[in-house]
Amino acid sequence: MLTNRGWHFTSESLRQAAGARKFRLLNDFEALAMALPHLGGDDVVQIGGETPQKPAVKIVLGPGTGLGMAALAPLPQGGWMALPGEVGHTTLPVETQEEFDWRARMSQPGVPFEAEDAITGGGLLRMYRAAAETPSLSTPEAVLQAALAGTDAAAVKTLDQFITWLARIAGDAAMTMQARGGVYLAGGIAPSIVARLQSGSFRSIFQEKGRLAFVMRPIPVYVIVDRFPAFKGCAAAIAEMR
C-alpha cells in the first residue's frame, strides 16, 4: 500500500503484470541510496566535511513532493545494502518560540504536524502563507523564485527557515545513523538552492550537536545535481540480481 495513494499491490503481482522473470521493487529513495556509490564529479556539489577514506554508512534525503530518506550501509564482504526510511513522518525540529508560533499557524488542533508538512514543495508554500501578512504568491515555485531574487521579504524569511529545518533534519538523521560516509540531499528543491546552502547557515546548523559536534564536522554533505540519479540506483540493483 502506498502512503499517499490508495493503491494496493504486491511485488509478485507487479512481476506477473510486467511478465518479468526477475523483479525487484524499490521505493524512490531506496533507488537513490543504491546510486550513491556511483555519483561523483559533476553529479554532486559538496558542502563542507571531509571525503570519506573508507566505505561507511551514507544517507540520502530530500524535499520534493514529499520528504524521503534512505540509508546505505557497506557490507562486510563488499557491496552495499539500502535501508529505506521515513524521515518525512517524524516531528518537525522546532526549537525557538518564533518557530513554535510559526508551526501553530500552519497546523490544526489535534492534527499531527509532520516534518514533510513544512519541508516539501507544498510545505514551502504553507510556510510562506503563515509568514506573510498578505500573501501574494500562490505556488511553491513562485515563493522559491522570489526568495532567491530577494523580491518578497516573507519569501526570503520562509526560505531561510526552510533551510534551518532541513539542516536540523539532515543533522539529526546523520547523527542517528552515524553517517560518516556522507549525507546526500536529493529531490527537486535542493539543487535549485545549492548556492544558498553553500553560503548560508546550513552547514553550521547541520553540525550543531553541542559536545558531540566533533562527530558531525567531518561528515560531508552533498547536493545531488545529477538529473536522473535514481536510474543509476536501479541499474545497480539490477546488476546485483545477476
Residues 54, 180 contacting (CB under 8 angstroms) = no
Tell me the per-residue pLDDT of 102-137, one tens digit each, with 9 for 90 and over: 999 999 888 899 999 999 999 999 999 999 999 999
pTM of the model: 0.92
61: Cβ–Cβ under 8 A, 6 or more apart, which residues?
A: 29, 67, 68, 69, 70, 85, 87, 169, 170, 173, 183, 184, 185, 186
Residues 33, 237 contacting (CB under 8 angstroms) = no
Look-up of cell digits 518537525: 92
**Three-state SS letters, the chain:** CCCCCCCCCCHHHHHHHHCCCCCCCCCHHHHHHHHHHHCCHHHEEEECCCCCCCCCCEEEEEECCCEEEEEEEECCCCCEEEEEECHHHCECCCCCHHHHHHHHHHCCCCCCCEHHHCCCHHHHHHHHHHHCCCCCCCCHHHHHHHHHHCCCHHHHHHHHHHHHHHHHHHHHHHHHHCCCCEEEECCCCHHHHHHHHHHCCHHHHHCCCHHHHHHHCCCCEEEECCCCHHHHHHHHHHHHCC
Res 27: pLDDT: 84
Sequence-distant contacts of 144-151: CB under 8 A, at least 24 apart: 144/189, 144/192, 144/193, 148/192, 148/193, 148/196
Tell me the per-residue pLDDT of 69-111, one tens digit each, with 9 for 90 and over: 999 999 998 899 999 999 999 999 999 999 999 999 999 888 8
Interatomic CA distance for residues 71 and 117, integer angstroms: 22
Res 242: pLDDT: 67
Per-residue pLDDT of the chain (242 residues; tens, 9 = 90+): 566 677 887 878 888 888 887 777 888 899 999 999 999 889 999 999 999 989 999 999 999 889 999 999 999 988 999 999 999 999 999 999 999 999 999 998 888 999 999 999 999 999 999 999 999 999 999 999 999 999 999 999 999 999 999 999 999 999 999 999 999 999 989 999 999 999 989 999 999 999 999 999 999 999 999 999 999 998 888 888 76
